[in-house]
Copies of this chain bind each other. A is one copy, B any other.
């Protein structure tokens, strides 16, 4: 079991379809352990249908009677919560929460993420079982977050954090051609300038800001060698066409 694995606990879910959607959201983000506290209906065809390809999560799900049972062997319990409890509890957003969860997991603790009922979340008693409260910062005009969406966001943060170490921050590491050297870009710009003079677009006597603007433009493109070859090819072909015509005259 990898270090970002946590137990997802759903309390009193009313609509079996939501359980399926949660399973799918979990599997998307590499989570697999689902515990259901007294769901209204489970197993249920609606759940399987909504889970799409994540029925294995449902098959391996455990059903228990109380939240206490669901988290009995856990060391660290996070409960999702709307704001404004009477007694303030340590409350974090999903990103800060993911960090705490991973720290606990790294030190070998079992962690549970607890999600409440579709209509009214977790009760105060249930929230008091939790070590930490998690609040997803939905917009103040519309805070009603779908159950599976909440699971998705929290599991997404866990996955992002787990990937942080293993992924290079550079998206371009998967680029298909080596990037062009400054020297080659410089040669291209000289070639471009020459061609622009030949086609009559650039007047070498009054060049104005033209090459400066083109230099800025090509400079920020981060060209790769293949692209540079294409661009040079266009210039060469333009020159050939001109030359062919003029010698034919």
Contacts and interface: CB of A to CB of B under 8 A. Distances in A.
Contact of A230 (B28, B29, B210): B210
Interface in A187-237: 196, 198-201, 210, 213-214, 217, 220-223, 226-227, 230, 233-234, 237
A92 B144 contact: no
Interface stretch (A33-41, A105-113, A123-131, A151-159): A151-159
A141 B95 CA distance: 24
A242 interface: yes
Top 10 A-B residue pairs of the complex, sorted by shortest distance between their CB atoms? A245-B245, A30-B139, A201-B237, A28-B138, A27-B142, A199-B241, A199-B237, A149-B152, A88-B176, A217-B227
B221 A28 contact: no
B53 A142 contact: yes
Interface of A: 21, 24-25, 27-30, 52-54, 87-88, 90-93, 95-96, 136-139, 141-146, 148-149, 152-153, 156, 159-160, 163, 167, 169, 171-172, 174-176, 196, 198-201, 210, 213-214, 217, 220-223, 226-227, 230, 233-234, 237-238, 240-242, 245-246, 248-249
B149 A28 contact: yes
Q: Count copies of this chain in the complex.
A: 2
B160 A137 contact: yes
A159 B139 contact: yes
Contact of A245 (B27, B156, B176, B248): B248
A199 B234 contact: yes
Nearest to A50: B146
B30 A141 contact: yes
